[in-house]
Chain A
Amino acid sequence: MAARDRLHGTLDLLVLKTLSAGPRHGYAIAKWLEEGTRDKLRVEDGSLYPALYRMEKQEWIRSEWRTSELGRQAKFYLITPAGRRHLKAETEDWLAFATTVTRLLELAV
C-alpha cells in the first residue's frame, strides 16, 4: 500500500513538474516522462490518465480543450495555484527523504 502510494506520489510529482513549465496534453506528458527518465521509469500510457483525472479532482490541475500543434482538438492540462503549492511542498519532502536515504546508504556500516 505504502509502495503504491509512493508510486502515485512520484508520478503526480513528475506530472506537476512538467505542467509547471506550461500546458501540455496527455500524450506530451507521456513523452516527457519517457524522455526525461530515458525509459527507466516505464509507465503504461493507460495508467497516466487515471492519475491525471485524480489530480484534476484534487484541483491540482485543470483541463481545457485546445487545438494541438497538429491542428487537432486535444485536451490540455494546466497546473493550478494549489498544484504549484503541492509541487513545492512535495519536492522539498522528496529531496529531504532522498538525502536522508542517500546519506544512510553511503554510510559505512
Chain B
Amino acid sequence: MSQEPEGPDPLDRSPLRRSVEQEVADEFDFHLAMRARELAGTGLDSAEARRQAEARFGDLAEAQRLCRELAGHRERRARRIVFFSELAQDFRFALRTLRRRRAFATLAVITTALGIGAATAIYGVVDRVLLRPLPFDEPGRLVAVWASEPERRADPVLSRGWDKVPLGSDEYLALQKATRLRGIALFGTSANMLSNGSTRERVTTLVATSSLLPTLRVHPVLGRGFLPGEDVHDGPKIALLSWETWRSRFAGDSTVIGRSIRLDDYPYTVVGVLPPGLRLDRTATQAAVWVPALQGDYDLPERHNRQYSGVARLAPGATLADAEREASTLIGEATASPAGKSSARVADWQFDQTRDIRGSLLLLLGAVGVLLLIACINVATLMLGETAKREPELAARAALGAGMARLSRQLLTESLVIAGLGALLGCALAWAGTRALIAYAPPQIVRLGGIGLDFRVLAFATGCAVLTGIAFGLVPALTRLKPADYAALRMGTGLSGRRSRGPERLLIAGEVALSLVLLVGCTLLARSLGRLTAVDPGFVPDQMMVVQITSEKAPYDDSTRAARFYASAMEQIAALPGVVTVSASTSAPFTGGSSSSPTRPEGHPADPTVPPVYTQQREPMPGYFATMKIPLLAGRDFTPADRDGAPLVVILSEAAARRDWPTVSAVGHQIFWQGQWRTIVGIVGDIKFARLSREDEPILYAPYAQAPWGDLAIVVRTRGETGALASAIRERLDKLDPAATVLAVIPMVSLVERSYGEERYRTLLVTLFGGMASLLAAVGIFGVISRAQARRTREIGIRLALGSPAFAVIGLMLRETALGIGVGLVVGIPAALLVVRQLGPYLFQITPTDPTSFGLALLVLLGAFLAAALPPAWRANRVDPARVLRSE
C-alpha cells in the first residue's frame, strides 16, 4: 500500500463517530451516574440514589429534546465536512489511479475533449447568433415588419422573398396609424465612399428614419439623433457617426459635431455620434455612418419604391398576430390597386434576422450533439473495460469495508475527473475550433466576428462535462456493482467468470446506431453537394476574371462619363497579355446583384387588373455572350451598332422566350420593357446567376448603350493562369478615374464556389463529425475485442492446440462485437431514416432516403469495423498454445 501515504484510506468510514442521540443519552447517563454515586456516598441505597439523581435532573425527556435540537446543526456540519473530505479524497484518489492507468486516461480524456470541444464550438456560434437576446431594451417586443405578397409565389422571378417584401413611403405613412405597433421605423443600407479630408474609404451607410433610434431606445452619446421632419424629401443632409468610425477616423474628437464630411462627394453635416457596438443585425456588417431616409426622389410616395426594412415595437398588450392583422389592413389599404394588394408580415425581430441561417445552425448543433453522445458511450465502454481490469482492487476495497455506495461514488468521481479534464482540453479545442469555424465560415457567420469563449459558452461546456461525466460514470457504477457482484467482490471470488457482457453490447449497439445516423447524414449532404457543384451554370466560369467596380454617384450623374470610363477600362484590360476577350454587364452572374422589372410581350394589352409579369434584366456591353461563352441559340448577338438612338433591341434567355412565345420563335417579336417596345433580335442559353440550385429564371438582356443604368462588372476571358493578371488589372484601373473604385478582381470560379459556400461549410462540418464518430466507434470496437482477446487467451490457446483453424479463431473474436453491431444496425437504419427526413430542405436532387447514401454509410462503418476488429482478432490467432498452457 505504498501509494497511500497521506491520511486514512479514502474508502474508510469512521466507526468512532456517534449519533447525536447517542451522544446526548451517554452524556446524561454519565451525569446521572455521577450524581447517584455522590448521593450513594451519603448512605442511600443505589436504587434510591438513582431515583433522587433523576429527580434533581428535572425533566429528562425535555432536556434531551432541547439538546438534540441544538446539536442538529453540528451533526449537519459534521456530515458536510465528511462529505467534502471524502470528495477530496475521492478526487485525489481518482487522479492517482488515472495517473497509474495513463493509456486509458489519455484515451478517455481525448475522446471527451473531442466531444465537448466540438459541441462547445458549435454552441458558441448558435448562442451568439440565435439565442442571445438583441442588445436593446426589451428586445422581445421588437418586431420586423415586412410587406407580403402571397400571389408572387407563383412567379419564378419574384417568388423568392414573397413574404419579405421591403417597405417604402406608402407603407411607412400607412403604418403611422397603427395602434398595435409603436414607433414604426424604416432602415436600409448602402455602400458609399466616405471622404474626410484627404482619406477616402468605402463604408456601409445606414439609411434610417428619425423614428429608428427612439424605437430601439438608443441615445446618441454625443449630439443628437435625426428629428421628425428631417427624414423627408429634400431634408437636411445630416449624418450620425458610429462610435467606431468616430474613434478611428475622427480620433474621438468631440468637436466633430457640426463638421462636414462627404459621402459620394455630397456634403453631410455630422450631428451626433452613436453608442459603441451598435449594429442592427448581427449577421450584417456594421454601418459606419447613418443618414436620414426618405430624402431622395426615389422615396417620393408616387414612385412606389420599396427598399427599406421595417422595425417597430409591439404596443403594450398587443400580440404578434394582432399587430400583423392590423398592419395587413393598413398596408392593404395603402397599396390597393386593381391588380391586388399587399398584406404584412410581423415577426420577432431576432427570429426574422436569423431566419435563413437558423435551420442550418440547428442542424449542426444536432449533429454535434450526436457526436457528443457517441463520445460519452465510447468513454463508458472504456470505463467498463477498466472496471473489469480493476476487480482485484475493488475487491480489496470491499474487503476493507468500503460500502457499495462508496465504491460507486469513487467510480463516479473518476469519471467526473475525466470529464473535467476532457472539458478543459475541450475548451482549448473549442477555442481553436471557433477560429477555424470562422475562418472557413460563410459571410453571415464571419461577420459575427467576436465569437469567443465567454461565460455562457463556458457554462455550457461545464454542463456538458458534468452530464457526460455522470452519464459515462453511472454506466459502470450501475452495471458493475450489483449487490450480488458486491458480495462476490467481498468474497474475493471475482466476477470474470460470471460477468454479463450485456451492457458492453448495448453500448456498442448505441455507438453503431448513432454513428450510422451521422454517417448517413453526411453522405447525403456530400452527395447533394456533389450534385450541386456538377450543375452547369450555362456559361464557362473557368479561366475568367470578374472586375467589380463601384463609382461615386455625384460625378456619374452624367452617364456618358461612366460609359467613357468603362470603355477605356475595357480597352486597357484587353491590351494586357493573357487576356482573350473583355466585356461587361450589370449584375454579372454570382456577383450578388440582380434586378428585375415587369415585361409584356406584344399582343398583350396593359391590364391593370392583372399583376405584372417580372423578368430579370441585364445590360451587357458588346461581346458579353462570347466572353461568358453563353451560347447564342437563335438570331444575332448585340453589335456596337446597337447604340443609343438606334432601334431598341433586346436578347431574351431561353426561359424568357419560351414563357412568352411558347409555340413560335421569339426572334423578331416585340416586348415592352422600361416604358418602351423593343425588338427581340436573339435568344441565348439560360444561366444560373445567384445559386446553382435555382430554377432557370427568364432574363432580358438590353445593350448597355441603350439602357446605361447601374454599375458594370467587367468580365475577362483569360488564357491560362489568372493570378498575376488580377494585380495588373487593378494597377491599370486605379489610375483611370479617382471617382471609380475597384472593389475586387476575382476569378469567376471563386464567385461560383462562394455561392454554395454555406452548403459546403455545413457538409464539411457534418462530414468532420461523421468521421470523428466512426473513428470513435472504431476505437470502442477495438477496445472490446482487445479485452476479449486478453480475457480468452487461455481458451484460444486450447482451441488452437486442439487444431481449430485460424479463421475460426478470428471469427470467434469478431463475434464478440457482432451482436452489438447487429443490434446497432437494426436500430440505426430506421433511426437514420427518421432523422435524415429533417435534411430534406438542405438536399439538392437527392431524396433523404437515397439508398446509395445508406449503402456508402454502411460501407464506411464496415471499413471502420474491420480496421478496428481485425488487428486484435489476428493477434488472438497468434497465441502460442504451448506457452499459454504452460503458464497455467
Residues on A lying within 8 angstroms of B by beta carbon are 25-27, 30, 44-47, 49-50, 53-54, 56-57, 68, 72-75
Chain B residue nearest to A45 (CB atoms) is B57
* Among candidates B59, B60, B74, residue contacting A56 with C-beta atoms closer than 8 Å: B74
Assess whether B30 is in contact with A53, with CB atoms less than 8 Å apart. Answer: no
Assess whether B30 is in contact with A57, with CB atoms less than 8 Å apart. Answer: no
Residues on B lying within 8 angstroms of A by beta carbon are 23-24, 26-28, 30-31, 33-35, 56-60, 62-63, 66-67, 70-71, 73-74
Assess whether A53 is in contact with B66, with CB atoms less than 8 Å apart. Answer: yes
Chain B residue nearest to A53 (CB atoms) is B70
* Among candidates B27, B59, B60, B70, residue contacting A26 with C-beta atoms closer than 8 Å: B27
A34 to chain B, nearest CB (A): 10
Assess whether B56 is in contact with A45, with CB atoms less than 8 Å apart. Answer: yes
Chain B residues near A27 (CB-CB < 8 A): 30-31, 34-35
Chain A residues near B58 (CB-CB < 8 A): 44-47
Interface class of chain B by DSSP: helix
Chain B residues near A49 (CB-CB < 8 A): 24, 27-28, 31, 63, 66-67
Chain B residues near A56 (CB-CB < 8 A): 70-71, 74
| A-B pairs with beta carbons under 8 Å apart, 27 shown | A26-B27, A26-B30, A30-B31, A44-B56, A44-B57, A44-B58, A45-B31, A45-B35, A45-B58, A46-B59, A46-B62, A46-B63, A47-B58, A47-B63, A49-B24, A49-B31, A50-B70, A53-B70, A56-B71, A57-B71, A57-B73, A57-B74, A72-B33, A73-B30, A74-B27, A75-B27, A75-B30
Chain A residues near B30 (CB-CB < 8 A): 25-27, 68, 72-75
Complex Cα spacing A26 to B62, Å: 17
Chain A residues near B71 (CB-CB < 8 A): 53, 56-57
* Among candidates B26, B33, B67, residue contacting A50 with C-beta atoms closer than 8 Å: B67
Complex Cα spacing A53 to B62, Å: 14
Chain A residue nearest to B68 (CB atoms) is A53
Chain B residues near A26 (CB-CB < 8 A): 27, 30-31
Complex Cα spacing A53 to B71, Å: 7
Complex Cα spacing A49 to B66, Å: 9
Chain B residue nearest to A68 (CB atoms) is B30
Chain A residues near B74 (CB-CB < 8 A): 56-57
B34 to chain A, nearest CB (A): 4
A81 to chain B, nearest CB (A): 18
Complex Cα spacing A5 to B63, Å: 18
Complex Cα spacing A45 to B167, Å: 90
A56 to chain B, nearest CB (A): 7
Complex Cα spacing A75 to B33, Å: 13
B67 to chain A, nearest CB (A): 5
Complex Cα spacing A57 to B28, Å: 18
Q: Give 10 closest A-B pairs by Cβ, nearest first.
A: A46-B58, A53-B70, A44-B58, A46-B63, A50-B66, A27-B34, A45-B57, A46-B57, A75-B27, A53-B67
Chain B residues near A73 (CB-CB < 8 A): 26, 30
B63 to chain A, nearest CB (A): 4
B35 to chain A, nearest CB (A): 7
B540 to chain A, nearest CB (A): 88
Complex Cα spacing A25 to B24, Å: 13
* Among candidates B23, B56, B60, residue contacting A75 with C-beta atoms closer than 8 Å: B23
Complex Cα spacing A47 to B62, Å: 9
Chain A residue nearest to B59 (CB atoms) is A46
Chain A residues near B62 (CB-CB < 8 A): 46
Chain B residue nearest to A26 (CB atoms) is B31
Chain B residues near A74 (CB-CB < 8 A): 27, 30
Complex Cα spacing A73 to B29, Å: 11
Complex Cα spacing A47 to B33, Å: 17
A107 to chain B, nearest CB (A): 40
Complex Cα spacing A72 to B27, Å: 11
Complex Cα spacing A26 to B66, Å: 16
Chain B residue nearest to A29 (CB atoms) is B31
A65 to chain B, nearest CB (A): 8
A82 to chain B, nearest CB (A): 15
B46 to chain A, nearest CB (A): 16
Complex Cα spacing A73 to B71, Å: 19
A58 to chain B, nearest CB (A): 10
Complex Cα spacing A46 to B56, Å: 8
Chain B residue nearest to A54 (CB atoms) is B70
Complex Cα spacing A50 to B35, Å: 18
Assess whether A46 is in contact with B60, with CB atoms less than 8 Å apart. Answer: yes
Complex Cα spacing A62 to B597, Å: 91
A sample of 14 more A-B contacts (CB under 8 A), given A25-B30, A44-B57, A47-B63, is A45-B31, A45-B58, A46-B57, A46-B60, A49-B31, A50-B66, A50-B67, A50-B70, A54-B70, A57-B70, A57-B73, A57-B74, A73-B26, A74-B27
Complex Cα spacing A73 to B25, Å: 13
Complex Cα spacing A30 to B34, Å: 11
